[in-house]
Each structure stands twice: as C-alpha cells, then as structure tokens.
C-alpha cells in the first residue's frame, strides 16, 4: 500500500487492541516494542505523509547518559545500546541509521565532589565515563576553551574566562540518524504486523461514556480499540484535553533554534560538547563537514508555540549571532569563513521537571507518551519498552532495568539539573 492512502474506504469501522497516535520516534518505538513481544493487533496512525515530520526530524539525536536520576541513566544507557546495535534491535538486515560514537565532554562549573558523584552514577549504572583533567582536555582538543564561568548574555563584554580543572567525559556518547532511525522502526513495525497508516490524522477520540474506546480519522474512518496511546509529540495536548486527561503536567511546545556552520577537514574533531557557560551544546554533523550548534537555553531563544503546525522554521538573526559568539568563546582560535544555515524544531517541555509522562492516564483507555523536553530521541527505545511491558507483561532484549512507573502521571517531579542538560 502506498503511503498517504487509507487502508479503508471512507466511514469504515475497524478494530485493534492498541492504536498509537503519532509515528515519530516515540510512537514508532512504542508500536514496535508492543508488536515484537505480543500478538496484539497494533495500528499506528500519523497525519504526516511519512516518518520524522515532527520533532524527530529536527532532532540533534545525541545519545548520552548523564542524568540526575539513576533510573534515567539506565534508561538512556539501554536505549544507547539499542542504537549501537541497531540491526539487532530492529531485526532488520539493513538499516538507514547507524551509530556514530563521538564521546561527550561536559564543560561545567562543578566541584570535584559533584563530578565524582556524576561519575559514580554513570559507572554504577553501566556507562563508560571518566574524569578528564584540564591537561587531558588540552592534549585531546587543544582548540577548546576550558572556561566554566557562565556568560551573562545581557553583559557579554564583562565576561572573564575562568578555566575548569576537571571535566566529565562520556566515552560512548554519540549520535544516530533521527529520520533514518524513525523510518527503520516503521519498517520493523510493518515486519511485525503493525498496520501503519500515514496521511491520516486523528480528528477525534471515540468516547464510550468516560472512557476512550477508539479514534476517528480525518477521512471518516473509525477504529475501535481498547487502548489508545497518545504519542503525538508537540500536538499531544489537544488529544489529552479532548478526553479530559492529563491536567497535572504543563507540556509546552517550544521552538528550538539550531545553527549549522560549514566545518572543514582542518577544523578540530570536537567531541559532543555540553557548554555550561552558555547552556548550549555542539556536535559535528555530516561526517564532520558541518558543526551543529544548539542555541543557548535562554527564554528569548525558546519561543512558546500555540499551534505546532505554525512556527518559523529558520533561526532568528539575533539567535544566530549569539550562538556563533557563544561557540567562538568555546573554540576561540578557529576562523570561520563558511556558510551558516539553520533550522528550528519543537521540544515539548514538561515545565515541572523536564521529564516525560509515560503510561496510562487517569482516563481509562488513554495512555500517554508525552513531554520529552529535548530527551525523547535518546530515550525512545526504552520508552517503547516501558509501555510495552506495562501492556503485555512481557520482557524483551534491550529492555531497560527500570520501574515501569518511572514517569507515571501521578509521580512526584523528578530531580533535574534543567532543560537540555537535565
């Protein structure tokens, strides 16, 4: 069947055990994880014409494991293993996505005790990491400024560099191809019998009294289903509102601006760099022909979006200039002569703790996988496993060693150090 066409004629009724709304990296992972461990009939629907048309397509796709909560470390670590073993995980002979190990350096203002705690939390949960001292960093990446002093963006000229003495390094951090990984998971879904339909938006939830009992598609088709999973990324709120579900957490679609700069062979091979002076991060792109800069995490560059179908797709000039200046602070010796481009995508920020809401909602029949706050790509394989385990009771390879209620709707806010760097 060609993408963008419905399997049914207009007004047709069908049934499933599970309908997943949204075939981004989260919905595709959820559907695949259910299908690979059960015989439940799963239908995955997306209003876009193909995979990775939402947040996933704009993702910087960094996989790293430094989190404040040990269980989130384990979730990120098991998901990283899935990305590293992508053909095994997807059970596909050939995949579009691959894993590129770049290592991640955290250039943060931390005491040696805080660094030691971070390191212990990583290594105790199976992540390869080490402390690098200033001399090690200078030896590996001589171009990198080791300043850890935060920059005040209102008074940048007052900034005086203060070098850190030691830094956390995650050896196996890296990147995958977000659009490729999303389309691989769609292939895996189909191979495991999931019915995947693109070009068909869900226009309403079907309610049976107080409970959700299916979805109505824009073309008029109705799917009855015991479970409907909201994996609609930044579009998640109207679905929850429709059912009167999930009023506890504030999930805000937020425009994030990315800057891409040409990068030549002679430019330094930097690790993924988390920049504590500016709350931003950088990584190589296109096999090192570009450098990708995530703009500083300050409110003026993070616009709240009311309608996820309507936001400016290119970065603002002021953001471009500030981000480049922040990057030049980090690698001051590198001369830039190439072109600058960029793009924007949407995070769905959980304002309370930057962690997602995953599992059954308080409305029977409606489940949630929402509010990933800039962390959804790296966690996607494990999030799918959490939902699949809750639904089926079955475990499978690459499953994370975490409580399935880790991100339950009725949890208390989890510890976090904030946003992109949570």
Residues of this chain that interact with ligand FAD (CB under 6 A) are: 21-27, 45-48, 53-56, 58-62, 201-202, 231-235, 256, 258, 345-347, 372, 374-378
Nearest approach, Cβ of residue 356 and ligand FAD (Å): 8
Q: Which is nearer to ligand FAD, 219 or 226 (CB)?
A: 219
Nearest approach, Cβ of residue 292 and ligand FAD (Å): 9
Q: Which is nearer to ligand FAD, 20 or 166 (CB)?
A: 20
**Torsional sign, CA 46, 47, 51, 52:** negative
Nearest approach, Cβ of residue 52 and ligand FAD (Å): 7
Nearest approach, Cβ of residue 207 and ligand FAD (Å): 16
Q: Which is nearer to ligand FAD, 26 or 105 (CB)?
A: 26
Q: Which is nearer to ligand FAD, 166 or 200 (CB)?
A: 200
Q: Which is nearer to ligand FAD, 263 or 377 (CB)?
A: 377
Q: Which is nearer to ligand FAD, 103 or 166 (CB)?
A: 103
Q: Which is nearer to ligand FAD, 166 or 228 (CB)?
A: 228
The strand pair at 104-107 and 62-63 is best described as unpaired
Q: Which is nearer to ligand FAD, 144 or 223 (CB)?
A: 223
Nearest approach, Cβ of residue 333 and ligand FAD (Å): 26
């Amino acid at each position: 069947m060609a993408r963008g066409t419905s399997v049914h004629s207009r007004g047709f009724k069908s049934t499933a055990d599970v309908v997943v709304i949204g075939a981004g990296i989260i919905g595709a992972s959820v559907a695949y994880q259910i299908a690979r461990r059960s015989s439940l009939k799963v239908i995955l629907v997306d209003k876009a014409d193909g995979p990775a048309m939402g947040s996933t397509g704009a993702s910087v796709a960094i996989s790293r494991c430094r989190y404040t909560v040990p269980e989130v470390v384990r979730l990120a670590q098991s998901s990283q293993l899935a990305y590293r073993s992508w053909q095994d995980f997807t059970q596909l002979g050939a995949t579009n996505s691959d894993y590129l190990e770049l290592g991640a350096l955290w250039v943060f203002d931390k005491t040696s005790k805080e660094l030691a705690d971070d390191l212990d939390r990583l290594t105790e949960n199976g992540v390869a990491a080490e402390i690098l001292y200033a001399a090690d960093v200078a030896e590996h990446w001589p171009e990198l400024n080791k300043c850890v002093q935060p920059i005040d963006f209102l008074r940048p000229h007052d900034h005086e560099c203060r070098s850190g003495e030691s830094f956390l390094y995650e050896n196996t951090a890296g990147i995958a191809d977000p659009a490729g990984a999303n389309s691989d998971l769609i292939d895996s879904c189909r191979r495991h019998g999931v019915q995947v339909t693109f070009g068909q938006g869900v226009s309403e939830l079907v309610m049976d009294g107080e409970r959700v009992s299916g979805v109505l598609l824009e073309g008029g088709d109705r799917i009855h289903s015991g479970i409907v999973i909201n994996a609609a990324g930044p579009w998640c709120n109207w679905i929850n509102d429709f059912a009167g579900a999930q009023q506890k957490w504030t999930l805000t679609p937020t425009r994030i601006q990315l800057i891409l700069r040409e990068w030549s062979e002679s430019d330094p091979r930097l690790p993924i760099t988390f920049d504590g002076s500016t709350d931003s991060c950088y990584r190589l792109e296109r096999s090192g022909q570009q450098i990708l800069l995530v703009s500083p995490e300050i409110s003026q560059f993070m616009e709240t979006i009311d309608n996820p179908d309507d936001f400016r797709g290119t970065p603002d000039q002021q953001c471009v200039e500030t981000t480049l200046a922040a990057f030049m602070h980090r690698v001051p010796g590198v001369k830039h002569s190439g072109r600058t481009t960029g793009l924007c995508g949407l995070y769905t920020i959980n304002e309370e703790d930057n962690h997602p809401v995953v599992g059954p909602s308080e409305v029977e029949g409606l489940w949630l996988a929402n509010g990933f706050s800039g962390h959804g790509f790296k966690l996607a394989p494990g999030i799918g496993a959490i939902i699949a385990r809750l639904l089926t009771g079955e475990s499978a390879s690459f499953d994370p060693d975490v409580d399935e209620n880790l991100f339950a709707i009725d949890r208390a806010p989890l510890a976090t150090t904030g946003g992109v760097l949570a």
